[in-house]
Amino acid sequence: MKIISTLIVSLLFAFSVQAETVTAAQDPWPPFIQEGSDPGISIALLKAAMAKEGYTVDFKIMPWNRALNEVKNGNVDLLPGAWYTEEREGYLIYSDYYAQNSIKFIKKKGDAFEFNGLDSLSGKKVGIVSGYGYGDEFSKAGNFSRPEAGSIEANIKKLLSGRIDLTLEDEIVAKSVIKGAGLDLGAVDFTTSALSVNNLHVAAGRANARGQKIIDAYNRGLAAIKADGTYNKILADYGVK
């Protein structure tokens, strides 16, 4: 009888853990976050890691600023792909990083510009995506302008039409966006030097009562999928090493 009771308790506990859902939201950022049946690298890793801890993930596409505010206020549990900034650290809890992004400047084909520190941007119009974190030094520098757009695709179009001098993005992401938008990848070049190499994290809001619990679970799950080969398989499926 004791064995049966213990089994019932164990099954009920397992069911209660499996039934727990976390919500996540972010804007499209291929190949890390994508619309449609293929959710992208970040969501595939998030779901695999959280499944190890008994969670399911309910992910929705949402504009970046809205998603950031919803997570900040605790209405949505997770941002699947966030870079660290000092300002955000005040209201976000960051996971261990699961990927790195090399943030390079994008220029029109034939432009001789090469990034050599922030001084080399003097007088330039550098298109940024509203709400993205490019690092505190870049954001505070006063020797160039930073006109905003809603997406990297919009900035690429502005670059090609001559409305901005440069834009910047992770090279893998930018190439995926350009191809997906039907734009000419041969019309742009990437600088050799990067502005930064940013660690990519999952983040929860400090206002979320279970935010730290979820991030701790993700970290454990991430370690588990790295150990069993799932992590490398997912990256390989997307052609990323």
Q: Which DSSP string do the residues of 178-229 spell out, in sequence order?
A: HHHTT--GGGEEEEEEEEEEEEEEEEEETTSTTHHHHHHHHHHHHHHHHHSS
Residues 157-216: pLDDT tens digits? 999 999 999 999 999 899 989 988 999 999 999 999 999 998 999 999 999 999 999 999
What does the angle CA 212 – CA 217 – CA 219 come to, to the nearest 5 degrees?
95
Q: Are residues 121 and 192 in the same domain?
A: yes
In eight-state DSSP terms, residue 8 is H
Give the CATH number, domain containing residue 134.
3.40.190.10
| Residues 211 and 104 sit within 8 Å (Cβ to Cβ) | no
The SS3 assignment for 236 reads: helix
Total domain count, the chain: 2
Q: What percent of the chain has pLDDT over 70?
A: 92
* Backbone phi, psi, residue 83, to 5°: -90, 155
Same domain, 81 and 191: no
**Do 8 and 19 belong together in one domain?**
yes
Task: Give the residue from 111, 131, 80, 161 showing the smallest Cα distance to 146.
Answer: 131
- The DSSP call for residue 118 is G
Between the CA of residue 203 and those of 23, 81, 91, 142, 237, what are the distances in Å?
12, 7, 10, 29, 24
Clarify whether residues 58 and 109 are in a common domain.
Answer: no
Question: Do residues 160 and 211 both lie within one domain?
Answer: no
pLDDT tens per residue, range 94-125: 999 999 999 999 999 999 999 999 999 999 99
Q: Same structural domain for residues 212 and 190?
A: no
pLDDT at residue 240 is higher than 80: no
Q: What range defines the domain where residue 131 resides? A: 100-198
Please tell me whether residues 14 and 79 are part of one structural domain: yes
